[in-house]
Amino acid sequence: MDTVQSIARGRSAAHRVSRVTTVVSHRRRQMPLIAWFFLSPVALLLLALIAYPLLDVAWESFHYVNLTNPTATGFSGFDNFETVFQDDDLLPAIWNTVLWTGLSVAGEYVLGLSAAVALAGPIRGGAFFRAFIIIPWLIPIVVAGLDWSWILAPDYGVLNLWLVHLGVLSHPVDWLGQMNTALLTVTLANVWRTFPFYTISFLAALQAVPPELHEAAALDGAPAWRRFWHISMPHLRPVTLTLVTLHVIWTAVNFDFIWVMTAGGPLNASTTLPILIYRYAMRNFDVGAACALAGMMMSAMATMFFLYRYGTMGLMRPRGRRLKTGEA
């Protein structure tokens, strides 16, 4: 009897387990459907706002699309790309984009880090300076660009006035009107506006460094610069990677700051790829060529970042393995 009961109990337990398993597996099967149900609004939004425009750009780069020439229609093959490659302004624009992006990001990094290090220490009025330094970043780009244009104007600009009064310059300089100064001047204005973002990011990272590490190193006799280099800098690496990656993208595709200050001039001296794309689309109304250049720019940037990402992962893997096996 006991045996029978025990078998019955066992069967009942097995039945319960089997029911629970069935319910769980049923729920598991349902989970993706529920997940899709909740994700679908976002997925639709992404499809409409990102995937569709991207595909449309790719499609139109192989078609004749000219707003002012309704007769130019149909498949264009590589004609739009040919238009872009035959443009005398393309190579200078690529060089200007590299220069503008490289100098901006480097300048923002150096200035942002210096300001963060200065503000990280116990200084009087630190809170005030931390709040004060963010102001340039809060100013809208168009307002900042116009302000700088007025400050730099050769006839009524305050910068030229000061420099001439101080004897630094013998006569006012048209900073935005000269071919050799226009792009550098806009770059400086961009650095001025953007470095506070670096400062607050670095400041947060610096304040997260455990103070005992610095204390221990100081007790061991490490000078300040060595402590900064070997303790603070490694802690800044993740935020640096994020900041630099984001700002390379944001700066390379920036249009408004240059457009407001120089519109790409004088004589294309500050024309970058986004300005060239705008010129194709909204000056020549050649949407096909604009899409071809935009597609090429996006592909180049995506390739760079994939190479960077997988290159970094490749470098990280052996180090990770060494750490796991205790070789390091």
What does the binding site for other proteins look like in residue numbers (CB under 8 A)? 67-72, 83, 154-155, 172, 174, 176-179, 265-269, 279, 282-286
Nearer to other proteins, 135 or 282 (CB): 282
In the complex, least distance from residue 204 CB atom to other proteins, rounded to whole angstroms: 42
Instruction: Calculate ∠ Cα 308-311-317, nearest 5°.
Output: 135
H/E stretch holding 307 reads: helix 287-325
Read off the tokens for 30: 């349902």
Best CA proximity match to 272, nearest among 286, 288, 255, 284: 255
Nearer to other proteins, 67 or 135 (CB): 67
**Is residue 285 exposed (0-12), middle (13-18) or buried (19+ Cβ within 10 Å)?**
middle
Best CA proximity match to 81, nearest among 284, 298, 300, 294: 294
In the complex, least distance from residue 79 CB atom to other proteins, rounded to whole angstroms: 11
| Three-class secondary structure assignment of 88-153 | CCHHHHHHHHHHHHHHHHHHHHHHHHHHHHHHHCCCCCHHHHHHHCCHHHHCCHHHHHHHHHHHHC
Nearer to other proteins, 193 or 279 (CB): 279
Nearer to other proteins, 19 or 283 (CB): 283
Contact 136, 112 (CB under 8 A): no
In the complex, least distance from residue 103 CB atom to other proteins, rounded to whole angstroms: 21
In the complex, least distance from residue 66 CB atom to other proteins, rounded to whole angstroms: 8
Nearer to other proteins, 190 or 271 (CB): 271
Nearer to other proteins, 80 or 194 (CB): 80
Nearer to other proteins, 173 or 236 (CB): 173
- Which residues are 66's β-sheet partners? 286
In the complex, least distance from residue 273 CB atom to other proteins, rounded to whole angstroms: 17
Mapped onto helix, strand or coil, the DSSP state of residue 270 is coil
In the complex, least distance from residue 177 CB atom to other proteins, rounded to whole angstroms: 2
In the complex, least distance from residue 290 CB atom to other proteins, rounded to whole angstroms: 13
Whole-angstrom Cα distance, residue 214 to residue 117?
14
Whole-angstrom Cα distance, residue 112 to residue 104?
11
In the complex, least distance from residue 285 CB atom to other proteins, rounded to whole angstroms: 6
Instruction: Calculate ∠ Cα 292-295-299, nearest 5°.
Output: 140
Nearer to other proteins, 120 or 258 (CB): 258
Read off the tokens for 270: 């500050």
Distances (CA, A) of 138 to 9, 142, 192, 194, 233: 71, 12, 12, 9, 27
